[in-house]
Amino acid sequence: MENSVLTVDTFSAFFGDHQVLKDVNLSVPKNVVAALMGPSGCGKTTLIRCVNRMHELLPDTKVAGKMFLNEKDIYTMEPIVLRRKVGMVFQKPNPFPTMSIYDNVIAGYKLNGIRHSREDFNNIVEQSLRSAALWDEVKDFLHRKGTFLSGGQQQRLCIARALAMNPEILLLDEPTSALDPKSTSQIEELFVELKKNVTMLLVTHNIGQAARVSDFTAFIYIGELIEYGPTEKMFTVPKDKRTEEYLTGKFG
Amino acid sequence: MKDHVRARLIKNYIFKGLVMLFAFISLLPLLLILYYITKNGISVINWDFLTQLPRPIGEAGGGVFNAIMGTIMLIVLSCVFSIPFGIAAGIYLAENREGKLSNIVRLCVVVLQGTPSIVIGIIAYAWIVAPLRTFSALSGGIALSIMMLPVIIKTTEETLKLIPYHLKEASLALGVPYYKTILKVVLPSGLNGILTGILLSVARITGETAPLLFTAFGNQFMNWNIFKPIDSLPYRIFYYAMSPYPEWHTFAWGASFILVVLTLAFNLIARGVSIKWKIQF
Ligand SMILES: Nc1ncnc2c1ncn2[C@@H]1O[C@H](COP(=O)(O)OP(=O)(O)O)[C@@H](O)[C@H]1O
Ligand SMILES: [Mg+2]
């Protein structure tokens, strides 16, 4: 538990009476990629949305148990403060259509009214775009709309937007599921590069992706965390029979 | 067999021809109106007509400057009242799609849209003219703003409903408070639709006469005070057309021409805004 960026402690989540997560325990160390995998509908999205409390936007949700971000209790923080420390990238690329590429990257500052000098913003934009491996492709038209980019570029722009806030953890909900294979492998390479500085929690229902990019993998099945550990270990000697069945493609 | 096919082709042609004919006939009144107004009105339009005030009975010449300015003032006033309320109500309806209050508001919007303008005029009279004991630009602006409300509310609601939810999520996930998300992300993304709605509602009220008869009333002098009666193009047309003087009749045509051009312009700008400023998601 020590030195872990995110700690999930006997955590449960409910939609109305429907229990979606059952006593999940998980801890993500600094500067790794932790993958959440499992068949669709098992609660992966719910789990990562509980990390930045986005589930609270839906009616009729409740949670039990605790979560800590760098040892601070997530559920006693102000959601707004929490969300500024937690980056999120969605399934579908969602750059702001009214904003330029430049403004999209610093949207977290602009929309929150956080002021910086022009120069600082220039630096933040360049660094974030470089980290998202997008700088070279867009540096000549930073002031064009972000929506003119290709799907893969848009998704990297969204990653840059999240990185610009210096998040303590980056949540990624099937970030490549809407992209073509080439963009997908670009983004997978990006994750490997990014984890030198950023901790990532990556939802994927692509077993290969979990194997390629993650250091730790959690297997979730109908709301239960069946198994969690180093990716290599889990993929070679899964402890649970259900994990093995999932990895060998028996279901999912 | 061949005859059969030919008969069907002929029927198709006849049908197409009839549809075109009826479409043309239904356009005819509009074209005739435009033609007639232009023919009678354009000869009166000159610099003096646009910039001078009406002259007293018996004196030749004069213009409708006060009516043009009055109409512009009424438009500005009614925008000032209707836009904030209309957009706010539209946001509320788009954000709360179900729920008792939303349904009540939606019903009110429909009823308001169907309320005859003369009735809205009487209400503005009772609420503002009677207590203040004077006809005024203010009361006219309020009457017209009530007529604008349903259009603005409806178009704002429909526009905002089409904005993808994932944009709102993107903003909220950055820690942007809900109200800022609405004001800085959702509203700007729907700006073209909302502006179109406002322009269409302005076009709708520019020619309204009935509610002005006992609110803004009319004024043959130029007046900039919103607590005093004010002239307007529709009122001026009514006044001149009802007079027994042939020169004033031609003035009524001239004023009609200006009014039609204004209304047309608002409609065209609305179209332009809705096409040119379209946001691609
Ligand atoms: N808004 C919602 N209201 C009610 N139930 C929901 C809602 N979203 C998800 N669920 C339920 O929660 C469970 C887990 O969903 P989710 O976390 O989206 O799964 P995953 O991301 O693993 O596919 C599913 O059974 C789903 O039906
Ligand atoms: Mg999901």
pLDDT in tens, B174-230: 999 999 999 999 999 999 999 999 999 999 999 999 999 999 999 999 999 999 999
> Residues A19, A40: contact at Cβ < 8 Å?
no
Contacts of A96 in chain B (CB under 8 A): 167, 170-171, 185, 189
pLDDT in tens, A81-93: 999 999 999 999 9
Please state, rounded to an integer, the average pLDDT across all residues of chain B.
94
Residue of B nearest to A106 (CA): B174
**What pLDDT sits at residue A222?**
94
pLDDT at A252 over 80: no
pLDDT in tens, A156-210: 999 999 999 999 999 999 999 999 999 999 999 999 999 999 999 999 988 999 9
pLDDT at A2 over 70: no
**B123 contact partners, CB below 8 Å, separation of at least 6:** B143, B146
pLDDT at A251 over 80: no
Residue B168, both tokens: 């709102």
The helix-helix angle for B65-95 and B233-242 (nearest 10°) equals 130
| Interval A78-106 mean pLDDT | 96
**What pLDDT sits at residue B166?**
93
Which domains, from first to last, does chain B contain?
68-231 (1.10.3720.10)
Tokens 């999940």 correspond to: A24
**Burial of A16 (C-beta count, 10 Å sphere; 0-12/13-18/19+):** exposed
Closest CA to A85 of B167, B171, B174, B185: B174
pLDDT at A250 over 90: no
Question: Would you place residue B1 in the very low, low, confident or very high pLDDT band (cuts 50, 70, 90)?
Answer: low
Question: Would you place residue A141 in the very low, low, confident or very high pLDDT band (cuts 50, 70, 90)?
Answer: very high
pLDDT at B260 over 60: yes
**What are the pocket residues of ligand 1 if the criterion is a CB atom closer than 6 Å to any ligand atom?**
A 15, 20, 38, 40-46, 58
**Strand blocks (E) in A82-143:** 86-89
Q: Whose CA is nearest to atom 12 of ligand 1?
A: A20
**What pLDDT sits at residue A162?**
97
Task: Indicate yes or no: CB of B184 within 8 angstroms of CB of A92.
Answer: no
| Interval A41-54 mean pLDDT | 96
> Residues A15, A60: contact at Cβ < 8 Å?
yes
pLDDT at B237 over 70: yes
| Interval B52-66 mean pLDDT | 90
> Residues B258, B64: contact at Cβ < 8 Å?
yes
pLDDT at A1 over 60: no
**What pLDDT sits at residue B5?**
87
**ipTM of this complex prediction, to 2 decimal places:** 0.93
User: Sheet harboring A18-29: ordered strands across?
Assistant: A72-73, A61-69, A4-15, A18-29, A224-230, A216-221, A33-37, A200-203, A169-173, A86-89
